[in-house]
Amino acid sequence: MEDITLRQTGGLREAAREWGPVVVLREMLRIRLAKFALTIIAITVIAAVFSPLLTRHDPEKMDPMNNLSAPTGKFWIGSDRLGRDQLSRLIYGARISLIIGVASVALSVVAGVAIGTVAGYFGRWWDEVLMRFVDGLASIPGLLLALGLVAVTGGAVLNVILAIAITATPAKARLIRAQVLSIKERDYVMAARSIGAPNSRMILLHILPNSFAPIIVAATLSLGAAIIAEASLSFLGVGVKPPTPTWGGMLRHAFETVERAPWLTFTPGAAIFLLVLAFNFAGDALRDVLDPRLRNTR
């Protein structure tokens, strides 16, 4: 039995080495839409990291004499109703969107993996209690739950991250639970259990490593949803508080002056659309690469 377990885990380690990050990236670049998606994501990351170097104006500096300016040599894509440079706010807004998106998805993955693994592996009352709690969270519309949480706790960045993470946790918990229920019945797990492997070893060496592929894909797809959630909260006025630039906040202010300066609605809307689309394309490509059944049909 021990030999079977070692052969199974050894084979999985070989597969993990074969499909490392570099190989996965190379395979993704063979997919046309993935190239577009990774380009958009790379541009957004560069804009977020190097915001101070890429902007000519302070995104929070007001210039009432040039409010609602049309695109000019000074304001390349115009200025808002307070005279703030639209391009600078757009670039700095990428930082907020990525920070909140990545952090909220990471927290939801950690919480979902913990809840789903315990519920799926131990079963019985653990499964009943944890999954009923998850069902309760899932029964509340995500945006409504996030809206309520942020309205109560305030619009600090950390509060927005936690609110979006809580709304995204049920889907991750259900996904990992389903994976654990399937994997724990496989031969190599049964063999490890028969030789007296402790639960911690079973979970860390056999269950979780074989559950990560769908979680990675789900996390990539969730990034787009998290960015939309952040933009929606800011648009509704309960997200990150002004004067911090956010894409949703820019849209909110643009719609208040849409009749006088309709061009202000285009750039933040296009930024949200392109980044969400890019993460969806990247998630689909990653699924195609990591799923052997889809990989062989590409």
pLDDT tens readout for residues 197-212: 777 777 777 788 777 7
pLDDT of residue 12: 41
- Whether the pLDDT of residue 6 is over 50: the answer is no
Give dist(CA 64, CA 239) in Å, integer: 25
SS3 79: strand
Range of the domain at 182: 2-295
Asked if residue 237 lies in contact with residue 256, where contact means CB atoms within 8 angstroms, the answer is no
Measured in residues, the chain has a length of 298
| pLDDT tier, 17 (very low <50, low <70, confident <90, very high otherwise) | very low
Number of domains the chain is built from: 1
- What the block records as the tokens of 47 is 């804009």
Instruction: Tell me what the mean pLDDT of segment 244-260 comes to.
Output: 87
φ, ψ of residue 287 to 5 degrees: the values are -65, -45
- What the block records as the tokens of 260 is 């006088």
pLDDT of residue 107: 94
- What the block records as the tokens of 179 is 């994976």
Q: What is the pTM of this model?
A: 0.84
Give dist(CA 92, CA 58) in Å, integer: 10
What CATH number is attached to the domain comprising 236? 1.10.3720.10
